[in-house]
Amino acid sequence: MLKVTPVDDDESDEEADALVLWAGDGAVRLLRRDARRRAILVERARPGSDLAGVDEEDATAIAVDVATRLWRPAAAPFRWIGDHVPRWLDNAARRGAPLAPRARSLYDGLKVGRETLVHGDFHHHNLLADGARYLAIDPKPMLGEPEFDVYSYLVNPLGSRMRRDVTEERLAAFAAAGLDDGRMRAWALIRGAYLSSKPQHLEVLRALL
């Protein structure tokens, strides 16, 4: 699969580096890269169906398994989420995002991790079947902490309605894998402040804390 990243998609700048680090363990393999053309050739997952078609309990178990393979120690050239989240929150505040004030307060109270590689866009549609396993695609990799990644999974798949009971079950599954429940909830509200404007998302996110 050939992927050419637009110049304005700077969040994907280190995608090839992340794929090299993962080396096929939880993510598609990098086959070739052309940094000048911002192009990469990656392994194609077959049959390539995404996690949205899997029942809820099994889908979450698969997601937890894949995510825990991806979260691993890393350093340069990956950028730290702490150098970007404040700007994203400021932009949300200027837009009048309803969750922005609470999100800023939560963020200011966090000592943000910076030693773990996170996927950055971890959700159902970026997890594809490859034989009997699932592989992640399209990372926006940065240095941070695992709890940062969970938000995207909570608000997906597309077309579904975010529900409090399902959200709690998903959080419990990730917590059972070792993630901090409070930090997952904080990051969900923080990221939701600058990434979502859907009333149903905001209602559930507010109820998490």
Q: Which residues are catalytic?
A: 121
Enumerate residues 6+ apart whose C-beta is below 8 A from 183.
Answer: 110, 145, 147
β-sheet with 30-34: strand ranges across: 2-4, 39-42, 30-34
CA 148 to chain centre: 7
Name residue, tokens 């949205």: 52
166-201 b/e (C-beta count within 10 Å ≥ 16 → b): ebeebbebbbeeebeeebbbbbbbbbbbbebeeeeb
β-sheet with 127-130: strand ranges across: 47-50, 127-130, 133-136
